[in-house]
Amino acid sequence: MEPIQCLTGKAAVMDRSNVDTDQIIPKQFLKRIERTGFGEFLFYDWRYDEKGNERADFELNKPESKGANILIAGDNFGCGSSREHAPWSLYDYGFQAVIAPSFADIFKNNCLKNGMLPIALSSEDVSRLMKAAEEPGHQLTVDLPNQTVTDNKGFQASFDIHPYWKEMLVNGWDEISITLQYDEQIRQHEQKDQVVSSY
Amino acid sequence: MGKSIIEKIWDRHIVYKEDSKPDLLYIDLHYIHEVTSPQAFEGLRLKGRSVRRPDKTFATMDHNVPTINRYLIHDEVARTQLEALKKNCDEFSISLADLDSPDQGIVHVIGPELGLTKPGMTIVCGDSHTSTHGAFGAIAFGIGTSEVEHVLATQTLWQTKPKTLKLEINGSLGRGVTAKDVILYIISKYGVNFGTGYIIEYCGDVIRNMSMEERMTVCNMSIEGGARAGLVAPDETTYSYLLGRKYSPKGDDFEKAVTDWSSLVSDDDAEYDHCLEIDGSDISPMVSWGTNPGMCSPVDSSIPTAGEVKTEDSKKSLRSALQYMGLEEGMKITDIPVQHVFIGSCTNSRLEDLRQAADVVKGQKVSTGVRALVVPGSQRVKLAAEEEGLDKIFTEAGFEWRESGCSMCLSMNPDVVPPGEHCASTSNRNFEGRQGTGARTHLVSPSMAAAAALFGKFVDIRQINAAGIADEAVK
Ligand code: SF4
């Protein structure tokens, strides 16, 4: 995983609640056995019409959303299926962070494991950012070490992230290698566990 | 202060604890299937890692499998995924219930059926409906593929302890009201994210009086309310279900296990972060009319109007859902036409579900213009149903009787609902495109789905008399 410090760039706005992972990456694209190359299928059914042409009214197809690296979305983003293909496709498309009032639990974890930041801000802050992002020349900055979101128009907010995840992301560590250092504790638990549930 | 079952199980599984970290939690059982595991095995291979406990890992094939002739897989990519799972299980010595196995079926149906799922366990699977296994008094939750890789390599996960929610359902259920209606009612009442950040303990008389299969239906859809996990404390119903299953403890070990399992039940003075209480008699047979499981209403009511919903956001969601569904505000639920019926999925594809549906269709005929499918959850369910003659009841009524798998729950296999058509489905998700691009899904119980097949529209199951004939009012 690449270490993350500061992200600066353009935001795309998706003002919808309860965007589910079936929409983020429809099931017909889950059959690949690689982690990469999912970006072209992101939001497929919303993004393209039956003939495979871009739908002009879909948020990400608007000219002002092209090239965005931060997505601002509504409540409960990423609900539904646990498919990690959802953050893979968002990341592959070019998003490095999603800002929303709330996230579904599994989706949030899946983002963190892939170096993509799920940032929860208050509904008011998210609405303000959605408006601000419509202004030409708008730029957002997400500062992970300082846990802040700022823009070039004077917006400022801070966000929460568990210190464990922050450390992991800032350093770009591989979680499994860290856990393997606890081998002794795992072994001890397995011995104790044999007594408790050896049935 | 006493402890809830959630805390008791959690605390038992902590391998390592430190203030600035989530808990390192031991995982007792790891289910895997073909769709969310290939990248995890690839990850292991790239780093030269092995599977720490293949004996605590169990695999099956379910999402992609065709349900007519399971060996005729036209889809190249689906076949690649099934082959990859077989190869990975061989290479890492993991038990696999493949297409030839009598144990094969939907992962959340076979785990309990084989007695693999047991009280007090921590159980994970790269699948959000892992919450199903909570019915046995286990902490069971869905994970992503990176976490699958982490569990394969370490048999643990770093997890922040979730908050606890006690959801008490008291009183009793009316005639025709099932476990599916209970959970749909809960989600429509409290919303699709009321459970985010929580593990739910379902309790109260209604839950106590439910069979294991009904408890599984309720726990299954915890995730549709935002909760990663939902559970029911084990009791006599749990133990008698487990007795004699393939992987259940045997003889004295079973007795010892029951003593241990019984100690996990929540203490009387256990505290929860949040409590909710509902009355079973308030629940009616439910039908979803929108594009998330919270958008559902009692069968004898109407689709809400924009005037009836409170926030701007919900008005917007209502309008866009109805546009997708091709329905109108204020329309009566019983006026919604149905062209497809799907009885199956990890929510409602067990023997009791099929019996319920068969009771309704016995001696009747599927309405002209309706295509109706029954897809048993597992090979064992299929066999057991055939022994009782349920397959005959269905096929004589005009239903198709299929091989086990996920099928039209997410339509990754060839079972698809065409664009614009309505499907009464016993599955768990009515998201846009879930059953096929443009498909319009309505979530219902097995008996409601069966009734919809007979009438080509939704009917109130309570108005169907014992002979399966609808009252005059229904026609
Ligand atoms: S039946 Fe549906 S919800 Fe259940 S595991 Fe299969 S695809 Fe997922």
**Domain formed by B303-474, architecture:** 2-Layer Sandwich (3.30)
Q: B147 and A113: CB-CB below 8 Å?
A: yes
In-domain check, residue A79:
yes
In-domain check, residue A157:
yes
Distance from CA of A102 to the nearest CA of B (A): 9
CATH number, domain at A29? 3.20.19.10
DSSP type of residue A55: P
Q: A190 and B120: CB-CB below 8 Å?
A: no
Q: A106 and B142: CB-CB below 8 Å?
A: yes
CB of B349 closer than 6 angstroms to any ligand 1 atom: no
CB of B106 closer than 6 angstroms to any ligand 1 atom: yes
B155 touches chain A (CB under 8 A): yes
**How far is it, in rounded angstroms, from Cα B75 to Cα B425?**
24
CB of B187 closer than 6 angstroms to any ligand 1 atom: no
B156 touches chain A (CB under 8 A): yes
In-domain check, residue A36:
yes
A173 touches chain B (CB under 8 A): no
CB of B428 closer than 6 angstroms to any ligand 1 atom: yes
Q: B143 and A106: CB-CB below 8 Å?
A: yes
Structure tokens given for B175:
């005639």
More confident residue, B464 or A111: A111
Q: How confident is the model at residue A197 (pLDDT cuts 50, 70, 90)?
A: low
Task: Quickly count: other Cβ atoms within 10 Å of residue B253's Cβ.
Answer: 12
Residue B95 has φ and ψ, to the nearest 5°, of -65, 135
Structural domain span for residue A30: 6-172
In-domain check, residue A183:
no
Helix, coil or strand: residue A2: coil
Distance from CA of A104 to the nearest CA of B (A): 7
Q: What is the pLDDT of residues B30-69, one digit of tens each?
A: 999 999 999 999 999 999 999 999 999 999 999 988 888 8
Full strand arrangement of the beta sheet holding B95-97: B95-97, B57-60, B29-32, B122-125, B139-142
Q: Which residues of B217-230 are buried (b: 16+ CB within 10 A; e: fewer)?
A: bbbbbbbbbbbbbb
CB pairs under 8 A between A and B: 179
Q: Note which residues in 335-354 of chain B have CB less than 8 A from chain A.
A: none
For residue B470, the model assigns a pLDDT of 58
For a ligand 1 pocket test, name from B62, B109, B350, B413 the mutation site with the most ligand atoms within 8 angstroms of its C-beta: B62
Residue B346 has φ and ψ, to the nearest 5°, of -65, -10
**How far is it, in rounded angstroms, from Cα B3 to Cα B322?**
45
In-domain check, residue A26:
yes
For a ligand 1 pocket test, name from B35, B67, B346, B375 the mutation site with the most ligand atoms within 8 angstroms of its C-beta: B346
In-domain check, residue A110:
yes
A20 touches chain B (CB under 8 A): yes
Domain count, chain A: 1
Name the CATH topology of B5-168+229-262. Aconitase; domain 3 (3.30.499)
For residue A198, the model assigns a pLDDT of 46
Q: B121 and A23: CB-CB below 8 Å?
A: no
For residue B469, the model assigns a pLDDT of 58
Distance (angstroms) between ligand 1 centre and the Cα of B406 equals 5
Distance (angstroms) between ligand 1 centre and the Cα of B63 equals 7
CB of B109 closer than 6 angstroms to any ligand 1 atom: no
Residue A153 has φ and ψ, to the nearest 5°, of -120, 10
Distance from CA of B252 to the nearest CA of A (A): 10
For residue A199, the model assigns a pLDDT of 46
CB of B409 closer than 6 angstroms to any ligand 1 atom: yes
Q: Which residues of B364-401 are buried (b: 16+ CB within 10 A; e: fewer)?
A: bebbeebbbbbbbbbbbbbebbeeeebbebbeebbbeb
For B157, name the nearest residue in chain A, comparing CA atoms only.
A179
In-domain check, residue A114:
yes
Q: What is the pLDDT of residues A44-103, one digit of tens each?
A: 999 999 899 999 999 999 999 999 999 999 999 999 999 999 999 999 999 999 999 999
Q: In chain B, which residues fall in CATH 3.30.499.10?
A: 5-168+229-262, 303-474
Instruction: Supply the mean pLDDT for chain A.
Output: 93
Q: List, as residue ranges, the binding site of B.
A: 346, 406, 409
Distance (angstroms) between ligand 1 centre and the Cα of B129 equals 7
- Low-confidence residues of chain B: pLDDT under 70: 465-475
DSSP type of residue A129: H
For B122, name the nearest residue in chain A, comparing CA atoms only.
A197
CB of B63 closer than 6 angstroms to any ligand 1 atom: yes
Q: List, as residue ranges, the binding site of B for [4Fe-4S] cluster.
A: 346, 406, 409
Structure tokens given for B241:
């279900």
